[in-house]
Amino acid sequence: MRKFPALALLTLLPLTHSSFAQAESVVFTTEEYPPFVYRDGNEVKGAATEQVQQVMTAIGTDYTITVMPWARAYAEALKTPMTCVFATAHNAERDKLFKWVEPLLIDRNVLIKHAGSPVAADNLDQAKKYTVGTWREDYTEKLLRQSAFPRIDVATDFKATLKKLMSDRIDLMPISELYYLKLKKEGQAIEKVVPFSQQSLAVACQKDFPDDLQRRMQAALDKLVADGTQTSILHKYGLNLDN
């Protein structure tokens, strides 16, 4: 058997490590849900997107971000190694399904209506007499069903649901309170009716995702939170946590 000199072996080790590092690439899936995620030409931007980009740049790991319908984005992260989906509500039902990096945002959801609509409710029980729209595989769909809302309209994505609300094809829909405040400020004809839920929005990674990589991503996100960068990013996209 041919033996390699010790010096040659030492030379080979860094190359092996480098090759492994290059292979460690993360695929992020997400939906178009401005201002958290949206397309701008060929670029993907938004308050959640920018945090993910800064985290991955900080740890020096290759990644891609692909925008697709939420049901597909979520399914890809459930089954595909090295895949993460964002911004995902972290609730008890999903907790054991993923490895989590959080929070990208602590947010409340509210039920809103088209401004001028006769819809009126002081609590969720009263809201149950109306048709409430949501989109496929979003956590709000399951929350509505768990809360026994009898009339749920499920669209393909957030934009389709909002379009139905504005054309009075549905009566109510859940939406991030911070995004609701942004849309109101921009002049959208919508009104808040009642609070719906509160949750952490997070990066959810496939359950076999490497622990070390998850820890590095979490440490980088923790730094964004601690040094005020996260707040600055949210304000940049009109998401004012002081409201």
Mean pLDDT of 64-80: 97
- CA 233-200-85 angle, 5° bins: 80
Task: Give the rounded percent of residues in the chain with a pLDDT score beyond 90.
Answer: 78
Q: At residue 22, does pLDDT exceed 60?
A: no
Amino acid at 183: L
Q: How many percent of the chain have pLDDT more than 70?
A: 89
- Tell me what the mean pLDDT of segment 204-208 comes to: 98
More confident of the two residues 33 and 223: 223
Superfamily of domain 107-199 in the CATH hierarchy: Periplasmic binding protein-like II (3.40.190.10)
pLDDT at 2 over 50: no
Give this prediction's pTM. 0.72
Q: Select the more confidently predicted residue: 147 or 178.
A: 147
In the predicted structure, residue 15 carries a pLDDT above the cut 60: no
pLDDT at 1 > cutoff 50:
no
| DSSP per-residue letters across 96-139 | GGEEEEEEEEEEEEEEEEETT-----SSHHHHTTS-EEEETT-H
Higher per-residue confidence, 15 vs 26: 26
The pLDDT-based confidence of 81 (bands split at 50, 70, 90) is very high
**For 212, left (φ over 0), alpha (ψ -120 to 50), or beta?**
alpha
Of 158 and 12, more confident: 158
Split at pLDDT 50, 70, 90, the class of 23 is: low
Label residue 241 by pLDDT band (50, 70, 90).
Answer: low
What CATH number should be reported for the domain whose range is 26-106+200-236?
3.40.190.10
The token pair that represents 36 in the structure block: 């958290």
Find out whether 101 and 55 touch, Cβ atoms under 8 Å: yes
Q: Give the residue with greater pLDDT, 34 vs 72.
A: 72
For residue 145, the one-letter residue type is: R
Could you tell me the residue ranges of all domains in the chain?
Answer: 26-106+200-236, 107-199
Same CATH topology for 26-106+200-236 and 107-199? Answer: yes
Using DSSP's 3-state secondary structure scheme, residue 28 falls into strand
